[in-house]
Structure 1
Amino acid sequence: MDTGTSDHKPLEAKAIEAAYEELQRQAAENPSVLRVRKDGDRAVIDGSVDLDALVMVIVGSVAGGP
């Protein structure tokens, strides 16, 4: 019987992708305040992040939003 563990991977991948895209969007909007780059499977973040916007995007990706 499948325990459902494999089902979490795609959801996690969607959330990670959504988070990184939102961080990139915020950095593009105000590059003097925020810089973001990927380093392997990590994000290197230098600056101020709008956590409300970041959380909304992650929750939306988990809920099946755009």
Structure 2
Amino acid sequence: MLEEKLTDAIVEELKRQAANQPHLLKVERADDAKASQELIVNGKIDLAALVMVIAGSVAGGP
């Protein structure tokens, strides 16, 4: 399903950004469960990178 693919892509990109700069960004998911539709984000997000991931996901990229 497209919604699941987009959700996974967004969450994984935000987690990647947080891992690269933990002092600037913190990302948490309720119980870190895949089924959760809630995400807690605190900090700076590289919006250009996030948009690229979303566009790639919609276009069928990895």
Using the size of structure 2 for normalisation, the TM-score is 0.88
CA distance in 2 between partners of 1:42 and 1:58 (Å): 18
Determine which of 55, 59, 63 is the counterpart of 2:51. Answer: 55
Letter in 1 for 2:22: P
In structure 2, the partner of 1:26 is 17
Structure 2: give runs of 5+ residues left out of the alignment.
31-35
List gaps (5 residues or longer) in structure 1: 1-9
What CA RMSD, in Å, does the superposition of the two structures yield over aligned residues? 0.7
Where 1:44 maps in the other structure, the secondary structure is strand
Spell out the pairing of 1:29-40 with structure 2 (5 A cutoff). 29-39=20-30, 40=36
TM-score, normalising length: structure 1? 0.83
The percentage of aligned residue pairs carrying the same residue is 53
How many residues align? The count is: 57
Q: Which runs of 4+ in 1 moved over 3 A?
A: none
Q: Name which one, 1 or 2, has greater alpha-carbon Rg.
A: 1
